[in-house]
A and B are shown apart, each in its own frame.
Chain A
Amino acid sequence: MKFLDEYRDGDLAQKLAAEIHRVTTQPWTIMEVCGGQTHAIVKFGIDELLPKHITLIHGPGCPVCVTPLEVIDQALEIAAQPEVIFTSFGDMLRVPGSTTDLLSVKAKGGDVRIVYSPLDAVKLAAENPLREVVFFGVGFETTAPATAMAVYQAAQKKLTNFSLLISHVLVPPAIEALMSSPNCRVQGFLAAGHVCAVMGYEEYFPLAKKYRVPIVVTGFEPLDILHGILLTVQQLESGRAEVENQYARAVSRAGNQPAQDLIKKVFTVVPRKWRGIGEIPQSGLGLGAAYAAFDAAKKFKLTDHRVEEPAECIAGLILQGLKKPHECPAFGTRCTPEHPFGATMVSSEGACAAYYRYRRHEFTNAK
């Protein structure tokens, strides 16, 4: 496939890796922000091509993983109501809430449906005027334009039986929260290419400056990731801390203007709790005042209750790059994708699931 296969060429990957070896003179710790990148790194064994003293740590960029337990519980509560058609991306169905998951609610007769696009949910609402259609709006800046359009079109169509359970999150505030933590070991970032395709990368200039870290906007294919790492190491070795764009074939500095415009129109920036990490100021999107009628939490009069994570799960530490999945005592034994304790084991973009899928044998043999 064009724009795909050529970025997976093994010989060229070796060449980039050799160049990284050549320019690296000392240990560096680099975080890839996005779960999609984590997945590619583990799948293609990119970390194994790197010099030993380059450490990649996996960031919080898995929207399924960071959706707070409280919100999952709210989803479960809404989905169980008889008049509701609860729609969601497939990844969310097996995320454990405090007692159950959406798939079990569905098995017990809840009308839970997987949709590919939020617009499918709007369509369902138009076709089923006597039912309440709720869409579970999660994700980063990559899915926000789709959710924004769904709400906007529902408003235009004057649908009163459509609403949104929203838990959208934003990447730059999370980077800021990580960098300002005293435990932070990250010296350079690979920023998530597709997030920047929407938002551009203006927001990263002040971050690179304030924390003196190189931030390289990076794509998702093996050559992209290796190239992103090379650019980051070159900056670190020469003492620079700049914003660079490795993924210029899909990302422009200003991003996608029409998408940003609609996000601004429909949403407002709010504080948001991240599962395993805690509340991060100004790190989420909620519905703006003009669209408040589409807020499922208000419509179903849900209360915000606080719940605790299972004690054994160290997903929070993993999401902050402080631990690797195989360091979790439950990894691959009590916690597997079939019986996940934490969301990082559920989502295909979660670090625990990526390690389970591609690295399990190494670690279980080693144990």
Chain B
Amino acid sequence: MSELEPSRTPGQAADEPADELIDLLRSRVARRRAAGDYPEGLEEELEEHFRRIAFHKVATDPDGLREAVSRVDERRKFTAEVPAESSVPGGEILHRALNKALARQGQLIVDQLQDFADVVHDALALVAAAVQNPNVHVHADLVGRLDAVLERLDRLERAMRDVRASELERRVELLERALEHRT
């Protein structure tokens, strides 16, 4: 019977051997922690690492934004003039007359729209420029990756500090033995 084989006796509750097994596994984890295999705070770092990945927002698309601003620019010329062409007999005369009658009200609305479009265009152009300027925004994805690298570096430094040379040799030997065993 192996160390992990449950030693159930007749009438014993089904969960008891499982609990024994879990206790044994926990004690092995504790031994690894004590031996420095799992540096202090490693699991918290792993959890924080994934949390940062999970909540990372999708980066903006500066090229797409620039194209969108160009499209706004192309379409910001308004006119109050309604095309006079018509397929209906006499329609052309009627459209010209309507254009003349409504010209003043139409131009007022167009002027307001033009003012609004100019302001929106200028605001969007500023936003697009800001997104492309690294001094006024943050690349969250790069910061996240940098954090991950720094965390790993930090972990390595702590491991180097905590583990004595002899301990390091022991662990290398263990790994080599495991590799030999596999091959």
Binding between chains A and B: no
Task: Show the binding face of B for A, using Cβ within 8 Å.
Answer: none
